Amino acid sequence: MSYKVLGKYLSDLNRSFIKHSEVKLSKYNITLNMWRCMMLIDNNKNCNLKDIAKLLNVDSAIVTRNIKKLELLNYVTKVKRDDDNRFFSLCLTDSGLDILKSINDYQDSWYDKILEGFNKKESDELISLMKKLCDNI
């Protein structure tokens, strides 16, 4: 019976997150997946399309489309690798970095809201348990 309640809570949480996120993301003409790509590029220097697809656990064609859109918006650029000109790394442009910071600051307000009343130990434990749930998928 508890799995039904867990499913409801996870669904409510996800729906709230998406609703909150879309407000800010639409201002920059990006989707939730495009924002996730930008965060991964920022956190994984010299990554490529395959790296992003693997980290997001999605098909590389989806990432390719998202990166192409981010390039057109001038948020991401491809840089040829010094060691092999056949491959390139993904980097955020200055504009992409500014936008990512703005979005992340906005998202912090949602996290602050949902973690209100949690102490550090409880929020760390919640994150650990959520990771454990995802690892079991």
> Tokens 């991401």 correspond to what residue?
76
The pair phi, psi for residue 76, each rounded to 5°, is: -135, 145
In 10 A of CB 16, how many CB atoms? 13
Predicted confidence (pLDDT) at residue 81 exceeds the cutoff of 80: no
Written as six digits, the tokens of 106 are 């906005």
Predicted confidence (pLDDT) at residue 1 exceeds the cutoff of 70: no
User: Residue 119's pLDDT is what?
Assistant: 94
Of the options 4.10.80.40, 1.10.10.10, 1.20.1370.20, 1.10.1200.30, the CATH number for the domain spanning 2-135: 1.10.10.10
How far the first Cα of the chain sits from its last, in Å, is: 19
When comparing pLDDT for 123 and 86, which is higher?
123
Predicted confidence (pLDDT) at residue 127 exceeds the cutoff of 80: yes
- What average pLDDT score do residues 59-88 get? 88
Predicted confidence (pLDDT) at residue 2 exceeds the cutoff of 80: no
> Tokens 């949602």 correspond to what residue?
110
E strands, the chain, where?
76-80, 88-92
Closest among 13, 11, 35 to 23, alpha carbons compared = 35
Average pLDDT, the chain: 90
Predicted confidence (pLDDT) at residue 24 exceeds the cutoff of 60: yes
The pair phi, psi for residue 78, each rounded to 5°, is: -100, 135
Written as six digits, the tokens of 56 are 């997001």
